[in-house]
Structure 1
Protein backbone atom coordinates (compact mmCIF):
# COMPACT_ATOMS: atom_id res chain seq x y z
CA UNK A 1 0.00 0.00 0.00
CA UNK A 2 1.08 3.51 -0.70
CA UNK A 3 1.06 6.88 0.97
CA UNK A 4 -2.74 6.98 1.27
CA UNK A 5 -2.84 3.81 3.37
CA UNK A 6 -0.26 5.40 5.66
CA UNK A 7 -2.51 8.43 6.10
CA UNK A 8 -5.54 6.19 6.82
CA UNK A 9 -3.58 4.17 9.37
CA UNK A 10 -2.09 7.30 10.97
CA UNK A 11 -5.57 8.74 11.49
CA UNK A 12 -6.86 5.53 13.07
CA UNK A 13 -3.82 5.23 15.33
CA UNK A 14 -3.52 8.91 16.26
CA UNK A 15 -7.15 9.94 16.62
CA UNK A 16 -8.96 6.70 17.35
CA UNK A 17 -6.30 4.97 19.47
CA UNK A 18 -5.98 1.80 17.37
CA UNK A 19 -2.64 0.04 17.25
CA UNK A 20 -0.81 -0.74 14.02
CA UNK A 21 -1.31 -4.44 14.79
CA UNK A 22 -5.10 -4.04 14.71
CA UNK A 23 -5.02 -2.58 11.21
CA UNK A 24 -4.49 -4.13 7.79
CA UNK A 25 -5.59 -3.18 4.28
CA UNK A 26 -8.09 -6.06 4.25
CA UNK A 27 -9.70 -5.15 7.59
CA UNK A 28 -13.22 -3.73 7.40
CA UNK A 29 -14.44 -0.93 9.62
CA UNK A 30 -16.69 -3.47 11.31
CA UNK A 31 -13.74 -5.75 12.05
CA UNK A 32 -11.85 -2.95 13.75
CA UNK A 33 -15.01 -1.98 15.68
CA UNK A 34 -15.40 1.56 14.37
CA UNK A 35 -18.98 2.48 15.32
CA UNK A 36 -21.33 4.72 13.33
CA UNK A 37 -20.28 7.92 15.10
CA UNK A 38 -16.65 6.92 14.66
CA UNK A 39 -17.20 6.40 10.93
CA UNK A 40 -18.59 9.93 10.58
CA UNK A 41 -15.68 11.40 12.52
CA UNK A 42 -13.26 9.26 10.51
CA UNK A 43 -14.75 10.51 7.22
CA UNK A 44 -14.43 14.14 8.36
CA UNK A 45 -10.85 13.61 9.51
CA UNK A 46 -10.01 11.88 6.21
CA UNK A 47 -11.36 14.87 4.31
CA UNK A 48 -9.29 17.28 6.40
CA UNK A 49 -6.15 15.16 6.01
CA UNK A 50 -6.45 14.11 2.37
CA UNK A 51 -8.74 16.62 0.70
CA UNK A 52 -11.00 13.75 -0.39
CA UNK A 53 -14.67 14.00 0.63
CA UNK A 54 -16.33 10.71 1.52
CA UNK A 55 -20.09 10.16 1.59
CA UNK A 56 -21.94 7.92 4.01
CA UNK A 57 -22.31 5.30 1.29
CA UNK A 58 -18.54 5.18 0.74
CA UNK A 59 -17.56 4.43 4.33
CA UNK A 60 -19.70 1.57 5.55
CA UNK A 61 -19.12 -1.31 7.95
CA UNK A 62 -18.07 -3.45 4.98
CA UNK A 63 -15.54 -0.96 3.58
CA UNK A 64 -11.94 -2.10 3.96
CA UNK A 65 -9.09 0.17 4.90
CA UNK A 66 -7.48 -0.73 1.58
CA UNK A 67 -10.57 0.38 -0.34
CA UNK A 68 -10.52 3.71 1.48
CA UNK A 69 -6.82 4.14 0.70
CA UNK A 70 -7.44 3.21 -2.96
CA UNK A 71 -10.18 5.85 -3.21
CA UNK A 72 -7.83 8.46 -1.76
CA UNK A 73 -5.04 7.45 -4.16
CA UNK A 74 -7.47 7.61 -7.10
CA UNK A 75 -8.63 11.11 -6.11
CA UNK A 76 -5.02 12.28 -5.77
CA UNK A 77 -4.14 10.73 -9.13
CA UNK A 78 -7.13 12.36 -10.83
CA UNK A 79 -6.19 15.73 -9.37
CA UNK A 80 -9.50 16.08 -7.49
CA UNK A 81 -7.64 16.31 -4.19
CA UNK A 82 -4.15 17.28 -3.13
CA UNK A 83 -1.95 14.80 -1.29
CA UNK A 84 -0.37 16.05 1.93
CA UNK A 85 3.37 16.63 1.83
Structure 2
Protein backbone atom coordinates (compact mmCIF):
# COMPACT_ATOMS: atom_id res chain seq x y z
CA UNK A 1 0.00 0.00 0.00
CA UNK A 2 1.41 3.37 -1.01
CA UNK A 3 1.35 6.42 1.21
CA UNK A 4 -1.32 7.89 -1.08
CA UNK A 5 -3.49 4.80 -0.56
CA UNK A 6 -2.96 5.05 3.18
CA UNK A 7 -3.95 8.73 3.35
CA UNK A 8 -7.12 8.15 1.34
CA UNK A 9 -8.04 5.04 3.34
CA UNK A 10 -7.47 6.90 6.61
CA UNK A 11 -9.65 9.83 5.54
CA UNK A 12 -12.46 7.59 4.33
CA UNK A 13 -12.50 5.53 7.51
CA UNK A 14 -11.94 8.26 10.10
CA UNK A 15 -13.61 11.39 8.71
CA UNK A 16 -16.37 9.72 6.74
CA UNK A 17 -16.92 6.61 8.86
CA UNK A 18 -16.68 4.22 5.92
CA UNK A 19 -15.98 0.69 7.20
CA UNK A 20 -12.58 -0.39 5.91
CA UNK A 21 -13.98 -3.73 4.71
CA UNK A 22 -16.24 -1.84 2.26
CA UNK A 23 -13.38 0.01 0.60
CA UNK A 24 -11.97 -1.65 -2.51
CA UNK A 25 -10.13 -0.14 -5.48
CA UNK A 26 -13.31 -0.59 -7.54
CA UNK A 27 -15.61 1.11 -4.98
CA UNK A 28 -17.16 4.33 -6.24
CA UNK A 29 -17.67 7.30 -3.98
CA UNK A 30 -21.42 6.77 -4.40
CA UNK A 31 -21.12 3.15 -3.24
CA UNK A 32 -19.27 4.39 -0.16
CA UNK A 33 -22.08 6.91 0.52
CA UNK A 34 -19.82 9.89 -0.15
CA UNK A 35 -22.23 12.58 -1.37
CA UNK A 36 -21.35 15.84 -3.13
CA UNK A 37 -20.82 17.76 0.11
CA UNK A 38 -18.59 14.99 1.47
CA UNK A 39 -16.67 14.96 -1.83
CA UNK A 40 -15.92 18.65 -1.43
CA UNK A 41 -14.78 18.03 2.15
CA UNK A 42 -12.66 15.07 1.00
CA UNK A 43 -11.01 17.18 -1.71
CA UNK A 44 -10.17 19.87 0.84
CA UNK A 45 -8.80 17.32 3.31
CA UNK A 46 -6.65 15.76 0.59
CA UNK A 47 -5.29 19.17 -0.35
CA UNK A 48 -4.39 19.81 3.29
CA UNK A 49 -2.94 16.34 3.95
CA UNK A 50 -1.29 15.57 0.61
CA UNK A 51 -0.84 19.00 -0.93
CA UNK A 52 -2.69 18.01 -4.10
CA UNK A 53 -5.64 20.07 -5.29
CA UNK A 54 -8.45 17.83 -6.51
CA UNK A 55 -10.72 19.50 -9.06
CA UNK A 56 -14.48 18.92 -9.02
CA UNK A 57 -14.36 16.82 -12.20
CA UNK A 58 -11.64 14.59 -10.70
CA UNK A 59 -13.77 13.46 -7.75
CA UNK A 60 -17.37 12.68 -8.59
CA UNK A 61 -19.86 10.15 -7.26
CA UNK A 62 -18.72 7.80 -10.06
CA UNK A 63 -15.00 8.11 -9.26
CA UNK A 64 -13.49 4.91 -7.91
CA UNK A 65 -11.01 4.67 -5.08
CA UNK A 66 -8.39 3.50 -7.61
CA UNK A 67 -9.04 6.48 -9.90
CA UNK A 68 -8.79 8.94 -7.03
CA UNK A 69 -5.60 7.30 -5.77
CA UNK A 70 -4.08 7.49 -9.28
CA UNK A 71 -5.04 11.17 -9.58
CA UNK A 72 -3.46 11.92 -6.21
CA UNK A 73 -0.29 10.01 -7.06
CA UNK A 74 0.07 11.85 -10.37
CA UNK A 75 -0.44 15.23 -8.73
CA UNK A 76 2.04 14.43 -5.97
CA UNK A 77 4.62 13.36 -8.54
CA UNK A 78 4.36 16.66 -10.41
CA UNK A 79 4.01 18.94 -7.38
CA UNK A 80 6.79 21.49 -6.92
CA UNK A 81 9.16 20.82 -4.05
CA UNK A 82 8.73 23.33 -1.23
Q: Same fold (TM over 0.5)?
A: yes
Mapped contact 1:52–1:81 kept (Cα < 8 A): no
Other-structure match for 1:40: 40
Structure 1 vs Structure 2 CA RMSD:
1.4
Which consecutive unaligned segments of at least 5 residues does structure 1 have?
none
Contact 1:39 / 1:59 at 8 angstroms: preserved in 2? yes
2:2 aligned residue: 2
The unaligned stretches of length 5 or more in structure 2 are none
Whose RCO is larger (CA < 8 A, sep 6+)?
Answer: 1
Please tell me whether residue 64 in structure 1 is matched to residue 32 in structure 2: no
Q: How many residues align?
A: 81
* CA distance in structure 2 between the partners assigned to 1:59 and 1:76 by the alignment: 16
**Could you state the TM-score of these two structures normalised by the residue count of structure 2?**
0.89
1:13 aligned partner: 13
